[in-house]
Amino acid sequence: MRLKLPLLFAAVLLATNAHAASDADWSDCKSSKAQTAIDGCTRVLGDTALNAYDRATAHNYRGRGYRRSGDYDRAIAEYNEAIRLRPDYHTAFNNRGLAYRYKRNYDQAIADYSEALRLKPDYSTAYHNRGRAYRYKGDYDQAIADYSEAIRLKPDYSTAFNNRGIAYRLKGDYDQAIADYSEAIRIKLDYATAYNNRGVAYRYKGEYDLAIADYDKALELDPDYASAFSNRGLAYRRKGEYDRAIADYNEALRLDPDYATAFNNRGLAYRYKGEYDLAIADYDKALELDPDHATAYRNRGNVYVDKGDYDQAIADFGQAIRADPEYTAAYTSRALAYQQKGDTERAIAEFRAALAVPQKYENGEWAHRTAREQLAVLEQGPDQPDPVVLPDRRVALVIGNSNYHSVSKLPNPKRDAQTVADAFRRLGFAEVELLNDLSKQAMERALIDFTGRAQSADWAVIYFAGHGMEMDGENYLVPVDAQLKQDRHVRLETVSLDDVLEAAGGADTLRLVILDACRDNPFAAQMQRTVTTRSIGRGLARIEPTGGTLVAYAARDGQVALDGEGDNSPFVSAFVQHLGEPGLDIRLMFAKVRDTVMAATNNQQQPFTYGSLPGTELTFRPVE
């Protein structure tokens, strides 16, 4: 029988086609496994009879395989070929944008996502991906706009909610971030990443217990989630629970031995425990793994400052700036190190450099505030005395609470706090943190942070101006958000003096707490008494600190201090008057403060000190 012409043509075609793509080849080509996809698509593309549409599809999938293998240049070449064959291939434009984003070429990525959206205006994935590129560029508002459009097109887009939450967090809008993470979790109950990210937002808000609860849930869903262990460690460190933090960092490093950030974070915990050599070893390891880890350089520099090795510290701060030229806190830290060395000219230049870069990262606000405050002290003019260079390390936490929410504002505490902070800086303190109008949560966080600094210091000084009160013989400092409607609320809404003393307790030589907080308590008059035997006295109660600890009251126990009619309270005016007298022992200095205040107030106010100091001489300003 003679073969018909169509069958003969087919036979000739089959004979010339080296390989016909099978269903199995296509299945492999579309695999999520990188090498399987590359191999499968290569076999598909060996089919010479493949039409342009299918050939473009195979190039797109092979590009995905190369992208997932980390070979972004070959991925882009594949997407280019797919787009050449199909100029309206919106998916290939989107995928090429992904490859450019992984190469950190965000502008080209955005251009590709935009072209994908021109071709397909309802392409929610491209909106989401473009949002990520804008976020990596630091354009958080445009990122949020794109995530919002992706969500409008796809209301159950849990990943878009999660990523929009990240953009809000980076903007500092933690409440909106938490709302987005919560919505992502509502849509996808087992979304471990969203739990972890919500924990980060809670941590930035200072709500450490809520953060830890979210990290716990993330780890319940994914027990091998190294980042969640590291983040939980950060929350424990913020709470002052350094051993639990270290345990979490250890677990993160067990899961990921090359986790540079976990080494860096564990180094912070060791530093706050005063274990400087272990901290430096961890920073060394972080930098071995990531030579451009700017934060690890700065943190190692801080440890060298603690050890008094200012030259090495300055070198590390310089490396941090090299790795990240906009790292605000590194400039400020380097300036403080020069200041400690007594190099005022270089310190001023570095503080100015810090103010010239944006407030980057969580500590950017601290960096700018500290730079402004220090420049105000250092640039007072040639008639001002040079900053004192001390033989030991002294740190201070200064708090001024003026703007109370539920009672009348106090005019002087913020001014008093500024005056005291400036005086400490002129006297050569290594670190002076000035904070104003703190809520209870913010006060607790400030004390936790100061605990670590005190452990690496010879002197730790805490000054508080604002409202204080005594109840049943215990003393409490009042945050600005306290309402104190009932006596039962005192322990819940205030900060115990015992906690303040504990925060300074790690210093080697002197723990000094100064309280200009004996003012007449306006909360007492409005407070409902629920326990008839409970006593609430005027001023503060007498205390008996021991072990190198001194507590100074602006007015002795049971008395009320005056806020004063000038720029500063009578106590602060007298305190800064005598503070810088060369060679004046601290005990005699406070005696002079007492005499000056009593004379200024016609004996209405008597400052008083409590505690037991060692027999050695202690002076704020040594004789040069």
Q: Which residues of the chain have pLDDT under 50?
A: 1-16, 382, 531-535, 537-538
Euclidean distance between CA atoms 152 and 149, whole angstroms: 5
The DSSP H or E segment spanning 550 is strand 549-553
- Contact, 119 vs 87, CB < 8 A? no
Torsion angle of the four alpha carbons 130, 135, 140, 145, in this order, in degrees rounded to the nearest 10: 20
pLDDT at 398: 94
Structure tokens at 378: 């250092």
Cα within 13 Å of Cα(419), Cβ side = 21
Euclidean distance between CA atoms 483 and 142, whole angstroms: 40
Domains of the chain and any CATH numbers: 292-387 (1.25.40.10), 392-612 (3.40.50.1460)
Question: Strands of 459-465's sheet, edge to edge?
Answer: 431-436, 394-400, 459-465, 510-516, 549-553, 608-612
pLDDT at 293: 94
> What is the bridge-based pairing of β-strands 495-496 and 510-516?
unpaired
In 3D, which of 221, 137, 240, 218 has the Cα closest to residue 230?
218
pTM for the structure as a whole: 0.64
